[in-house]
């Protein structure tokens, strides 16, 4: 089993104490986002968790307690962009805070296990292609040697973010411009010792040495844990997504980063209301079990294939 922590919210930044408590207790609860009263109990011992994938814009609250994850393979998807607080409202200053945190994390766990995400890329009057190229160059130079891989994607419009993107006058590049822009980013990444990949993009950028990416990456996980895993494509994700199946333990409408492009929040008031329900001792993130809830133990098991095949010889 692979745990995703989390596409839905920034657990490392805002809920790391809860997560460490759950590691200590060995289980957690996750509400079904469609059927709110359907709750899964998930055992998360090292015997069944093959890898944890953390998604974050600032894992600083986790860093002093990483030793508590001993026995759990893990890596980080670390989003670090060039936007200001007009786009990423509550993310700390990138040069003064976030880049040093990235570097510190990499020193602790290794460059292979910290993936740099420069995504999503959006364009408007302020954040022009030229702006992105300049900022990307500066960040790439700062992260040289601290990561092996950079992932990009271009902003998508969802029901939850469409109005905000319209207010920001976000526009799309023409196809030729988009290819040229992606090629420039790829060149800069390669110059700084990083391979380049795209996340859930329909466009083919392989001519610019940008591969289609798997954020929950079977090959990377196998490299980290030292054996093969039996894991297929995650059918709950978009067609273009290459991720393998995982269990997401996050909660929608609970991330405090305040990003204008976010697809996981319906509004700041809802987020703040959920955050007020945050209880470190609860098996649920942002809430407690109610009388009408039905808690069911979800069967989970390791996907490791410990026995070598002739292909491994």
Q: What is the three-state SS of 131-199?
A: HHHHHHHHHHHHHECCECEEEEEECCCCCCCHHHHHHCCCECCCHHHHHHHHHHHHHHHHHCCCEEEEC
Q: State residue 310's pLDDT score.
A: 41
Residue 307 CA to residue 14 CA, distance in Å, equals 39
Q: Which domain holds residue 157?
A: 2-312
User: What average pLDDT does range 101-108 have in this prediction?
Assistant: 98
Percent of the chain with pLDDT over 70: 97
Which pLDDT does position 218 carry in this prediction?
94
Give the pLDDT of residue 312.
Answer: 52
Q: Mean of the pLDDT values across residues 144-162? A: 92
pLDDT score for 313: 40
Calpha distance 186→171 (Å, rounded): 22
Q: Which two tokens stand for residue 120?
A: 């999503």
Q: Taking 50 as the threshold, does the pLDDT of residue 311 lie above it?
A: no
What pLDDT, on a 0 to 100 scale, did the predictor assign at position 189? Answer: 98
Indicate the pairing of strand 304-305 with strand 51-56: unpaired
Give how many domains the chain has, as a whole number: 1
Instruction: Calculate mean pLDDT across residues 280-308.
Output: 91
**Average predicted confidence (pLDDT) for the chain:** 93
| The pLDDT of residue 307 | 57
């Amino acid at each position: 089993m692979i745990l995703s922590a989390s596409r839905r919210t920034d657990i490392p930044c805002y809920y790391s104490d809860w997560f460490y408590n759950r590691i200590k207790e060995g289980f957690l609860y996750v509400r079904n986002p469609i059927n709110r009263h359907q709750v899964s109990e998930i055992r998360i011992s090292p015997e069944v968790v093959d890898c944890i994938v953390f998604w974050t814009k600032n894992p600083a609250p986790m860093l002093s307690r990483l030793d508590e994850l001993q026995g759990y393979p893990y890596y980080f998807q670390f989003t670090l962009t060039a936007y200001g607080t007009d786009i990423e409202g509550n993310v700390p200053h990138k040069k003064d805070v976030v880049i040093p945190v990235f570097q510190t994390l990499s020193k602790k766990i290794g460059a292979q296990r910290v993936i740099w995400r420069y995504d999503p890329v959006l364009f408007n009057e302020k954040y022009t292609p030229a702006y992105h190229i300049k900022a990307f160059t500066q960040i790439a130079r700062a992260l040289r040697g601290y990561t092996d891989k950079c992932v990009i994607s271009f902003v998508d419009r969802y029901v939850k973010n469409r109005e905000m993107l319209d207010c920001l006058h976000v526009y799309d590049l023409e196809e030729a411009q988009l290819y040229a822009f992606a090629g420039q980013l790829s060149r800069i990444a390669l110059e700084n010792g990083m391979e380049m990949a795209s996340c859930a993009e329909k466009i083919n950028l392989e001519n610019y040495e940008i591969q289609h990416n798997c954020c929950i990456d079977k090959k990377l996980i196998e490299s980290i844990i030292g054996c093969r895993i039996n894991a297929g494509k995650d059918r709950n994700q978009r067609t273009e997504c290459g991720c393998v199946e995982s269990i997401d333990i996050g909660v929608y409408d609970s991330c405090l980063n305040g990003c204008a492009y976010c697809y996981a929040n319906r509004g700041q008031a809802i987020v703040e209301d959920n955050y007020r329900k945050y209880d470190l001792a609860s098996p649920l993130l942002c809430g407690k079990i109610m009388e009408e809830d039905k808690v069911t133990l979800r069967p989970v098991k390791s996907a490791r294939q410990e026995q070598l095949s002739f292909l491994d010889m």
